[in-house]
Amino acid sequence: MVYSTKTIRNVMLATGVALALSLGVTQPAAAEFPEKPVEMTVLFGGTAQTISQLLADLMSRNLPQPVVAVSRTGGGGAVGYAHVQSTAADGYNIVWNSNSVSTAHHKGNMPFNYEAFTPIARISIEVPALSVRADSGWSNLADMVEAVKASDKKLKVGISGNGSFTHLTSAALFDNLGIADKVTYVPYGKGKAPIELLAKRVDAAVQWPGQFISHQKSGELNILCVTSEQRIALLPNTPSCDEAGASGLDITMWRGLAAPKGTPAAIVEKLQNAAKAAAESGEFQEASKNIGFTIAYLPAGEFGKLIVSDDAKISSLMSELGLKK
Amino acid sequence: MEILLTALPLALDPLTIGLVVLGALLGIIFGSIPGLTYSMALVLVLPITFKFDAVPAIGMLLGTYIGGMTGGSVSAILIGIPGTPSAAATVLDGYPLAKSGRAGLALGTAVVVSAFGGLFSLAVMIVSVDLVARLAIRFGPAEIFALVLFGMSTICGLAGKSLLRGLVAGTIGLLLMTVGMDELDGVPRMTFGTTSLLQGVHLLVAMVGLFAVPQVMNMLADYKSGGQALYRAKAVKTELPSFRQLRGNLSVMIRSALIGTGIGSIPGTGGPIAAFLAYDQARRFSPNKENFGKGELSGVVASETANNAVTGGAMIPLLSLGIPGDPATAIILGGLLIHGLAPGPMLFMENKVEVYTIYLAIGLAYIAVVLIQYFGIRLFVKILRVPPHILAVGILVVCVVGTFAIRNSFLDVYVMTGVGLMGYLLTRFRIPVTPIVLGLVLGETMEREFRTAMILSEGKFDIFYTSPMALFFFGLVIAVIAFQLVGARRERAKLNSNVQEKAHAEN
């Protein structure tokens, strides 16, 4: 039923445009976009929400109408994606997306995939990190791998949830290190993995660097490596996993903006430019240092290519793990 | 001391004071309207704080959080619908008090003990943040599961006359909470293949439905039959509890504040559990046990002290470990981060001054809350003069708007209505609705922690009986159930002998 209204709307829109063209009217809709507030659907709470609220605030300064961050959480992002996907492709409904567009689809929680959206711009990336307790005596990745291989016990690794991004990252990492069969993943909701590590209930945790840094400074945790190919600005002295022994590993989570498929290019470009200005502003850079993410603006075209290649990567990783539906 | 002197002018800056008060006011308004929560108020306030420095910004967020926590009691007492999940236990005695014409006293007491609970937890935080944090992290999945099971055992006290009916209600709550995406495995449950149901039944949506819909239906039904559903509010005065009333409840207040602070400091538990446990212990150790649920002031004291003590408790893992305990503190964490204050052990070394201004801001927020509520009560009680049938319509409108606004989902409005109609039918069968709320509140944590514990132990049950802390709580559960069974048997015996005597006398 939803589709039929959408189809009707599209037909009406098409008729309207055809009529406008036949009458020789220039496209006023696109030229004046936005005429009303733009709604940015946010799929998750926590850091994702904080960044989105700041981004929306900064984008509003570069547009005649405000951008409003609206939270639609649930289903690992599926609820929010489904909402935006069902709205008109006019640029007034955009989504603060991430690799979750691939994980939610391949898990079978979402009947459509990234192709239902038009990319606008990538804004930032976040890189998971592997951490262990300082009293484990493991000061680098090789120490840990050696100890795990020598031990007859399994390594308990705290992650966010089965099938979550940190799970996929850990699986790829331990597979690369050749110890995949000696690892037990312990899923914790809501970012509790770091304290479970501190409390000695798990041996390692794969989470976001911001959750570990303060404990590393206080000397209780060691961050062994970050999963991107390059080191990250937040942790200049921490090697990448690639350097530390997991050669070829390169996993990062991106966040960006997308609109329903079929949104006119002129509107996408306006949103892309507003996003670019926001991402490059001093305030956003300040926030990136404080919150612990990396600003990584990419225009719509390149962002689109990245989504396609990452989707293939995630899909094959999930099939290996038996998580793909 | 030196740090305190540096922090004092920062916290007492007019801008900071103004923002704390404004936050508290917003929090109270959002907290007191069923369906609008302080989490929502925090999300709205967060972008406003971007423009300010760290101290006034954090002050405003804390004011909102604290105002919201106390505001939940207003609607719980006046109209029997909790404004926030943490205030669900306040309804039990607060609403009967209001119906008997003592709304002013109930509200006044709620404000005073809220401030007591909040400041108590603040003091605990200042004195022993590190110690409490170290203790709190010893609560792993097995221990939290045991604690939550103990929380579940309070159904015994809430079930009223029939334990069976209480258990039926608790089970309905547990079942409702399984709808949606399973957090640990990311698989859909009871969604019938739809994407929209993946969001699950939101605790607040179900709670608003359970309390508001039957209330509204009763009000309208009574109007039609010419009766009066709501009590006639004569001149309700703001009546602060007398010194004697407070002194009589001092031990309840202290125990509840300890429960609230302790539970608040364990991430993933939170206000509703603390309030129900505090209510249950107050009832259990009270000389007028039978009066609970019928308008006993101690019931309001227990739940309101505890849920506000949670605020300070929850700040402990947030500031010292960087772990938010609930959605509200997660938003405060975002606010702290964006202003360059990264919570964790280093915060207390690198940002000592800011930490002390946070303490001062919490204290300031409680002063603001007490003042606003004290003068606000006169205004709040005016709602009781609205004719019930008109008030009923107003409540319904607010509930629909509120449940929609939680996640911008219209499905939630349907869920609220559906759960509400079910609640109405259940009350007709004399099945109490409060245990449903308990099942909803505790079910998710209970299931998650149990499963995580089993994964940790690689499928062995020894994780539960090798932990002394878990054993302690399991012991409490057994004790509660045993007391309940013995008590029920004794009551039945008494009833039987009464009947026999009566029969004897008639012969």
Question: Given an 8 Å threshold on Cβ–Cβ distance, is B184 in contact with A189?
Answer: yes
Mean pLDDT, range B294-298, rounded to an integer:
92
- B198 at the A interface (CB within 8 A)? yes
- Report the topology of domain A129-244: D-Maltodextrin-Binding Protein; domain 2 (3.40.190)
Q: What is the mean pLDDT of residues A215-224?
A: 94
d(CA B467, CA B472): 9
User: Given this model, what pLDDT does residue A124 score?
Assistant: 96
How does residue A31 score in pLDDT terms, banded at 50, 70 and 90? low
Least confident of A77-81, A216-220, B2-6, B204-208: B2-6
Q: Is B337 on the interface with A (CB under 8 A)?
A: yes
- pLDDT-derived band at A191, boundaries 50, 70, 90: confident
Q: What is the pLDDT of residue B491?
A: 77
Nearest CA in chain A to B454: A186
- Please answer yes or no on whether B344 and A189 come within 8 Å at the CB atom: no
Q: How far is B389 from chain A (nearest CA, A)?
A: 34
Q: Which of B293, B282, B288 is closest to B249 using CA atoms?
A: B282
Rg of chain A (C-alpha set) = 22
Q: Is B180 on the interface with A (CB under 8 A)?
A: yes
Query: B142 and B467 in contact (C-beta within 8 Å)?
Result: yes
Q: Chain A residue closest to B321 (CA)?
A: A195
- Does the CB of A292 have a partner CB in chain B at under 8 Å? yes
Q: Which amino acid is at B154?
A: T
- A153, amino acid identity: K
Q: Which residue among A50, A156, A186 sits closest to B338, beta carbon to beta carbon? A: A50
Digit-coded pLDDT (tens) for B306-337 = 999 999 999 999 998 888 878 888 899 999 99
Task: Say whether residue A283 is in contact with chain B using an 8 A CB cutoff.
Answer: yes
pLDDT digits (tens, 9 = 90+) for A47-70: 889 999 999 999 999 999 999 999
Q: How far is A8 from chain B (nearest CA, A)?
A: 22
Give the pLDDT band of residue A157 (cuts 50, 70, 90).
very high
Taking the Cβ of residue A239 and every Cβ of chain B, the question of whether any pair is shorter than 8 Å is answered with: no
Query: Residue A86: is it exposed, middle or buried by C-beta count within 10 angstroms (0-12/13-18/19+)?
Result: middle
pLDDT score of A265: 95
How close is the nearest chain A Cα to the Cα of B183, in Å?
A: 7
Whether B190 and chain A come into contact, CB under 8 Å, resolves to: no
Alpha-helix runs per DSSP H in chain A: 2-22, 28-32, 46-60, 78-85, 100-106, 141-150, 165-176, 193-198, 213-217, 241-244, 265-280, 282-291, 300-321
The region of weakest confidence among A225-234, B220-229, B402-411, B413-422 is B220-229
How much is the pLDDT for B236? 59
Report the interhelical angle of B271-284 vs B88-99 (nearest 10°): 50
For chain B, what percent of residues have pLDDT higher than 70?
A: 95
- Judge whether residue A5 has pLDDT over 60: no
pLDDT reported for residue A163: 84
Query: From the CB of residue A35, how many other CB atoms can be counted at a distance below 10 Å?
Result: 11
Instruction: Name the band, by pLDDT with cuts 50, 70 and 90, for residue B505.
Output: low
Which residue, chain included where needed, has tokens 């109408």? A65
- Return the SS3 of A125: strand
Is A324's Cβ below 8 Å from some Cβ in B? Answer: no
CB interface of B with A, residues 207-266, below 8 Å: none
Q: Shortest Cα distance from A107 to chain B (angstroms)?
A: 8
Strands (E), B396-479: none
Mean of the pLDDT values across residues B25-29?
93
Q: How far apart are CA A132 and CA A135, in angstroms?
A: 9
Q: Which residues, numbered 165 to 204 in chain A, qualify as contacts with chain B under a Cβ-Cβ cut-off of 8 Å? A: 184-192, 194-196, 198-199, 201-202
Angle at A110 between CA A108 and CA A114, to 5 degrees: 110
CA distances from B27 to A186, B42, B76, B262, B406 (A): 37, 8, 15, 24, 15
B467-488 pLDDT, tens digit per residue, is 999 999 999 999 988 888 887 7
User: DSSP 3-state assignment of A121?
Assistant: strand
CB contact (8 A) between residue A72 and residue B267: no
At B302, the pLDDT band (50, 70, 90 cuts) reads very high
The pLDDT tens digits of the residues spanning B332-371 come to 999 999 898 888 888 888 888 889 999 999 999 999 999 9
> Is the CB of residue B18 less than 8 Å away from at least one CB of chain A?
no
Query: Is B459 near chain A, with CB under 8 Å?
Result: no
Q: Given an 8 Å threshold on Cβ–Cβ distance, is A79 in contact with B199?
A: yes
**Token pair for A185:** 């993943």
- Higher per-residue pLDDT: A75 or B142: B142
Instruction: State how far the Cα of A221 lies from the Cα of A137, in Å rounded to an integer.
Output: 10
| Residue B343 Cα distances to B56, B332, B336, angstroms | 17, 11, 8
Q: How would DSSP label each residue in B20-57?
A: HHHHHHHHHHHHHSTT--HHHHHHHHHHHHTTS-HHHH
Least confident of A16-25, B187-196, B285-294, B498-507: A16-25
Which pLDDT tens digit goes with each residue over A238-251?
999 999 999 999 99
Q: How far is B263 from chain A (nearest CA, A)?
A: 16
Whether A285 contacts chain B with CB within 8 A: no
A218 → closest Cβ in B186, B200, B346: B346
- Interface with B, mutate which of A165, A166, A195, A293 (most B CBs under 10 A): A195
Find the closest chain A residue to B199 by CA distance. Answer: A74
Residue B91 phi, psi dihedral angles, 5° rounding: -60, -40
Instruction: Pick B37 or A194 by higher pLDDT.
Output: A194
Q: Check residue A17 and give its pLDDT.
A: 47
Tell me, what's the pLDDT at A26? 43
10 Å Cβ neighbour count for B124? Answer: 23
Q: What secondary structure does DSSP assign to A189-216, as a single string?
A: STT-HHHHHHTTSSSEEEE-GGGTHHHH
Q: Are B316 and B348 in contact (CB under 8 A)?
A: no
pLDDT at A161 (0 to 100):
85
Q: Is the CB of A78 less than 8 angstroms away from the CB of B198?
A: yes
> In the prediction, which pLDDT does B187 show?
86
Structure tokens at B340: 């360059």
Q: What average pLDDT is seen over chain A? A: 89
Q: Which residue of chain B is at minimal alpha-carbon distance from A191?
A: B323
Please tell me the least confidently modeled range out of A46-60, A77-91, A112-126, B374-388: B374-388
pLDDT of B25 higher than 70: yes
More confident residue, A200 or A12: A200
Q: Percent of chain A, pLDDT > 70?
A: 90
> What pLDDT, on a 0 to 100 scale, did the predictor assign at position A185?
94
Look at residue A8 in the predicted model and tell me its pLDDT: 52
- Given CB atoms, is B321 within the 8 Å cutoff of chain A? yes
C-alpha–C-alpha distance, residues A69 and A63, integer Å: 15
**CA of A136: how far to CAs of A222, B71, B327, in Å?**
9, 47, 32
Of A73, A76, A202, the CB nearest to B186: A76
* Coil, strand or helix at B427: helix
Q: Domain extents for chain A?
A: 25-126+253-321, 129-244
State how far the Cα of A284 lies from the Cα of A262, in Å rounded to an integer: 29
Minimal C-alpha gap between B181 and chain A (Å): 5
- Residues in chain A within 8 Å Cβ distance of B447: none
Average pLDDT score, chain B: 88
Average of pLDDT values for A212-240?
94
CA nearest A13: which of A270, A260, A269? A260
In angstroms, the Cα distances linking A147 to A170, A177, A264 are 18, 13, 56
ipTM of the complex, rounded to two decimals: 0.84
pLDDT band at A181 (very low <50, low <70, confident <90, very high): very high
- Inspect the interface and report whether the beta carbons of A45 and B409 lie closer than 8 Å: no
Residues of chain B neighbouring A107 (CB-CB closer than 8 A): 186-187
Going by pLDDT thresholds of 50, 70 and 90, the confidence category of residue B235 is low
Contact A280, A298 (CB under 8 A): no
pLDDT at A28: 46
Q: Which chain B residues touch A189 with a CB distance below 8 Å?
A: 183-184, 268, 448
Q: Please give the C-alpha separations between residue B462 and each of B149, B468, B471, in angstroms, as whole numbers.
A: 17, 12, 11
Asked if residue B492 has pLDDT above 60, the reply is: yes
Closest CA–CA distance from residue B62 to any residue of chain A (Å): 16
**Residue range B88-99: mean pLDDT, rounded:** 92
User: pLDDT: is B241 or A141 the higher one?
Assistant: A141
Convert the pLDDT of each residue in B400-421 to its tens digit: 998 998 888 899 999 999 999 9
Q: Are strands A183-187 and A129-133 parallel, antiparallel or unpaired?
A: unpaired
- Which amino acid is located at B197 in the chain? L
Pick B431 or B224 by higher pLDDT.
Answer: B431
- B267–A201 C-beta distance less than 8 A: no
Domain A25-126+253-321 has what CATH class? alpha beta
Instruction: Say if residue B230's pLDDT is above 60.
Output: no
Category of A298 on φ-ψ map: left (φ > 0), alpha (ψ -120 to 50) or beta: beta
DSSP code string of A51-84: HHHHHHHHHHTTSSS-EEEEE---GGGHHHHHHH
Return the residue in A55, A160, A196, A201 with the most chain B beta carbons within 10 A, the one to mutate for interface testing.
A201
CB count, 10 Å around CB of A127? Answer: 25
- Amino acid B348: pLDDT: 86
Residues sharing a CB contact under 8 Å with residue B306, sequence separation 6 or more, in sequence order: B117, B256, B257, B259, B260, B263, B271, B274, B275, B277, B278, B279
**Cβ within 8 Å of A, B 36-55:** 43, 46-47, 50
Q: Tell me the C-alpha to C-alpha distance, in Å, between residue B461 and each of A197, B141, B445.
A: 21, 12, 18
The Cα–Cα gap between B230 and B78 comes to 10
Residues in B touching A53 (Cβ below 8 Å): 43, 46-47, 334
Higher pLDDT, B193 or B277: B277
Rounded Cα gap, residues A2 and A155, in angstroms = 48
B368 closest CA partner among B54, B16, B123: B16
Same fold, A25-126+253-321 and A129-244: yes
| Number of inter-chain CB pairs under 8 A, A vs B | 164
A93-120 burial, b for 16+ CB within 10 Å, e for fewer? bbbbbbbbbbbbbbbebbebbbebbbbb
pLDDT given at position A1: 37
Residue corresponding to tokens 């060691």: A222
Cα B45 to Cα B61: distance, rounded to the nearest angstrom: 7
Length of chain B in terms of residues written = 507
| pLDDT bucket at B227, cuts 50 / 70 / 90 | low
pLDDT value at residue A67: 96
CA B175 to chain centre: 21
Residue B162's pLDDT band (boundaries 50, 70, 90)? confident
A214:B47 CB<8 A: no
Binary contact (B321, A71; C-beta < 8 A):
no
Question: What region does A248 belong to: left with phi over 0, alpha with psi -120 to 50, or beta?
Answer: left
Q: List all residues of chain B from 150 to 169 with a beta carbon under 8 Å from chain A.
A: none
Which residue of B45, B48, B184, B266 to mutate against A (max A Cβ within 10 Å)?
B184
